[in-house]
Amino acid sequence: LNENAQITDTNPKKKEGIIMAVAHKGSISMGLVLIPVGLYKTTVDNDIHFNQLDKESKARIKYKKYCSHCNKEVGPDDIIKGYEYEKDKYVVMTDDDLEKIKTKKDKTIHIVQFAKIAEIGQEIMWVGFLLSGSIFLRRL
């Protein structure tokens, strides 16, 4: 934005008609104050992406999942997770098994000290993200 630009929409998710996707949801903690935040990418992907097409019909190529043993197509309801511990030997894992072994995720940024702007390297200052949130008091 230049010095003459005015921001009328304060929603960080929508700038100049572009809806920004949240890259991370978490919170910032300062003592008893907990601020839920969303981290939004401020860069736009301008890369060109191509699809694979059939040479003759120009139809898009699709990938189907096949069982390597039966050589038949398999749907999402017929697919389970397994960990290969030896060549072609698996331990089957259910969604409940995976939930039991998950570790607790702490998505809170704990502020332990503040720094002067001159003490921070430029490689850290120019990261393409926007942090947005609102203030709530943490319950004790």
pLDDT of 77-112, one tens digit each? 999 999 999 998 999 999 888 888 877 776 677 777
CA distance linking residue 67 with residue 85, whole number of Å: 19
Residue 15 has which token pair? 């700038």
Mean pLDDT of 33-40: 80
| Rg, Å, the chain Cα set | 24
pLDDT the model gives residue 89: 92
Cα 69 to chain centroid distance, Å, stands at 35
Give start and end residues of each alpha helix (H) in the chain: 95-101, 122-125
Residue 18 pLDDT level (bands cut at 50, 70, 90): low
- The answer on pLDDT for 10 being more than 50 is no
